[in-house]
Chain A
């Protein structure tokens, strides 16, 4: 049996930005392979290149060197198969919840009846039926992020890229959305790449946590988790993992101190 090619393959990817006179090494020699159905968390302090790596997978940025592949083909630009959920939602303020969710299907040229059917399904899925005809500015942060997730799912994305999506939400809402996201992931067998700076969030969600460190941004370690789901943040096992990952996350400080 031939092994299927991975959904995402990042090999030796570096990204250099030129900011006026300064050269910024946002990402240095990153290697990462993601299989279909995985839930990956990218975690690290600011400046570690986690958002850059995510944006390269989305096709918003091109690598300065190295290769980013999806199903073995180079990622040349943004595509509906790779949906992005932004921290600040990036909903279209002039469209209602329904219209925001229907934006992708309509842009792809689906027939009106199909768009309606898809929208109905995903409005229901994220529990916003009562708010279907409301504009984004009338919604809470949590509801906005539900719309952002629904609009990506409604567009048949195989890979969902999430850039600190729950970072701006209060703790209660964040926990609810984490549960809902896991439920959707388990039901749909999506592949999720989720950027966060919270160790707890990463361990609660992911089946693999990729730890990144800054200066230059690089992948420090790749940590598969085999904690049973649903996970209990108060359990000893959870806290063991938290301790190990915490140490890895801060390893670059010690290296710098030693140097």
Chain B
């Protein structure tokens, strides 16, 4: 009896330990899934009980998503076009983002480090900042025409400010001691910009690029309201006019997932490049 008890003890101790390790591994995923699953359940309950007739059930959307991606179910105008639209949107998101970075990085560096540039540009840029991208839509269509150019311009505008503001902040908030350290080591004048200011600002600049890319995905629907034939934003606008809610929801889900994956890639890249920074593990 006593022997059996002592023998049982390690087994009892070992099992919770294994379970604990498994739980610790799975915990982040499990916790992350709770809210989406609850929302999905609510959606199911709401549509099954006909609280609304205009929103399809999760199953219907799921089925349509498969058709949207690979076809073979409904075979309508949108069957197996997902990747065409995704690619079109991605080209605008990354194109507009790259264009924004091309402008925002040098302007931010100048405004951040050169008093004259700051006095010249900062009031103007701050004045333009509160104007939402949506408000630019009509002007953009006049200036750049209906189509892809307008979409580029609007995405670019959406991504511009986070990159600009974080670049300004980054190049301005360099520890003054580092300039003294550099100058007593023989690095003076403009060389300090490349050897001290730029590397010191990389964490902020990186944060700006990450936010900018996020916003580029965020404004893609507005950008594609400009009458482009392809793109996830265009699909959502078509879904609206055709009263095809399942199309709208599919478009939303794809934008969400694409934006998420793109952000994770950027974060992974940042964690590699900014290994030196103790507070950069996003």
* A residues whose Cβ falls under 8 Å from a Cβ of B: 58-60, 77-80, 82-84, 86, 88, 90-96, 103-104, 107-108, 135-137, 151-152, 155
In the complex, are the beta carbons of B199 and A84 less than 8 A apart? Answer: no
Say yes or no: B276 contacts A137, CB within 8 Å. yes
Q: How far is the CB of B190 from chain A (nearest CB, A)?
A: 12
A93 near B186 (CB under 8 angstroms)?
Answer: no
Contact segment of B106-114, B119-127, B174-182, B213-221? B174-182
Chain A residue with minimal CB distance to B180?
Answer: A60
CB–CB B202/A103 < 8 A: no
Taking A90-B175, A92-B199, A93-B277 as contacts, is the C-beta distance between A84 and B187 under 8 angstroms?
Answer: no
Instruction: Decide if B178 touches A79 in the complex (CB within 8 Å).
Output: no
A103-B187 contact, Cβ under 8 Å, with A78-B180, A90-B180, A93-B276: yes
Chain A neighbourhood of B276, CB < 8 A: 93-96, 135-137
How far apart sit A90 and B184, CA to CA, in the bound complex (Å)?
Answer: 12
| Known A-B contacts A94-B199, A135-B276; A151 and B185 likewise in contact (beta carbons under 8 Å) | yes
Does the CB pair A135–B184 fall under 8 Å?
no
Interface contact B184-A84, CB-CB below 8 Å: yes
Residue of B175, B177, B185, B278 with most chain A CB atoms under a 10 A cut-off: B185
Can you name the residue of chain B whose Cβ is closest to the Cβ of A59?
Answer: B184
Closest-by-CB residue of A relative to B187 is: A107
Q: Is the CB of B184 within 8 A of A80?
A: yes
| Residues 249-282 (chain B) with a chain A CB within 8 angstroms | 275-278
Taking the nearest CB of chain A, how far is it from the CB of B189, in angstroms? 11
- Count how many pairs of residues, one from A and one from B, have CB atoms less than 8 Å apart in the complex: 74
Q: Do A77 and B183 touch (CB < 8 A)?
A: yes
Residue of B nearest to A157 (CB): B184
Enumerate B64-91 residues with CB–CB distance to A below 8 Å. none
> Quick check: A108 and B184 within 8 Å, CB to CB?
no
In the complex, the answer to whether B177 meets A86 with C-beta atoms within 8 Å is yes
Residue in chain A with minimal CB distance to B273 = A94
Binding site for A on B (CB under 8 A): 175, 177-178, 180-188, 191, 195-196, 199-200, 202, 275-278
CB distance B183 to A78 under 8 Å? yes
A92-B199, A94-B199, A94-B202 are known contacts. Are A80 and B175 too (CB-CB below 8 A)? Answer: no
Please name all residues of chain A whose beta carbon is closer than 8 Å to the beta carbon of B183 when the two chains form the complex: 77-78
With a CB–CB cut-off of 8 A, which chain A residues contact B200?
A: 93-94
Assembled-state Cα–Cα distance A95/B177 (Å)? 16
The interface residues of chain B lying within 8 Å CB-to-CB of A78 are: 180, 183-184, 188
Task: Tell me the smallest distance from the CB of B266 to a CB of chain A, in Å.
Answer: 19
Measured CB to CB, the closest approach of chain A to B273, in angstroms, equals 10
| Complex A-B, nearest 5 residue pairs according to Cβ-Cβ distance, in ascending order | A104-B185, A107-B187, A137-B278, A78-B183, A90-B177
- B185 x A80 contact (CB < 8 A): yes
Q: Across the two chains, which residue of chain A brings its CB closest to B196?
A: A92
Taken together as a complex, chains A and B put the C-alpha atoms of A127 and B186 apart, in Å, by 25
With a CB–CB cut-off of 8 A, which chain B residues contact A152?
184-185
B124 CB → nearest A CB, Å: 31
Cβ distance A25 to chain B, nearest Cβ, rounded Å: 23
Cβ–Cβ < 8 Å partners of A135 in chain B: 275-276
Question: Are B184 and A94 interface neighbours, CB within 8 A?
Answer: no
Name the distance in Å between A119's Cβ and chain B's nearest Cβ.
Answer: 13
Contact B275 A104 (CB under 8 A): no
A contact residues around B202 at 8 Å (CB)? 94
A–B complex contacts, Cβ < 8 Å, 7 sampled: A59-B184, A82-B184, A90-B175, A93-B200, A104-B187, A108-B186, A135-B275
B184: min CB distance to chain A, Å: 4
B184 touches A88 (CB 8 A): no
Tell me, in angstroms, the Cα distance from A83 to B191 when the chains sit together: 19
Query: What is the minimal beta-carbon distance from B193 to any residue of chain A, in angstroms?
Result: 13
A107 proximity list for chain B (CB < 8 A): 182, 185-187, 191, 195
Q: Which residue of B lies closest to A107 (CB)?
A: B187
Cα distance, A152 to B181, chains bound together (Å): 10
B186→A80 contact, CB < 8 A: yes
- CA of A122 to CA of B177, assembled, Å: 23
Bound Cα distance from A79 to B184, whole angstroms: 5
Q: A136 CA to B188 CA in the complex, in Å?
A: 23
A155:B275 contact, CB within 8 angstroms: no
Chain B positions within 8 Å of A91 at CB level: 181
Given A92-B178, A94-B199, A107-B195, are A58 and B184 neighbors across the interface (CB < 8 Å)?
A: yes
* Bound Cα distance A92, B202 (Å): 13
Question: Complex Cα distance A104/B178, Å?
Answer: 13
Cβ B186 vs Cβ A92 within 8 A: no
Cα of A77 to Cα of B177 in the assembled complex, Å: 15
Give complex CA distance A82, B87 in Å. Answer: 58
B180 touches A155 (CB 8 A): no
Q: How far, in whole Å, are A190 and B195 apart by their CA atoms in the complex?
A: 28
Chain B residues positioned under 8 Å from A96 (CB to CB):
276
Q: Give the distance to chain B from A93, nearest Cβ to Cβ, in Å.
A: 6
Task: State whether A155 touches B177 (Cβ < 8 A).
Answer: no
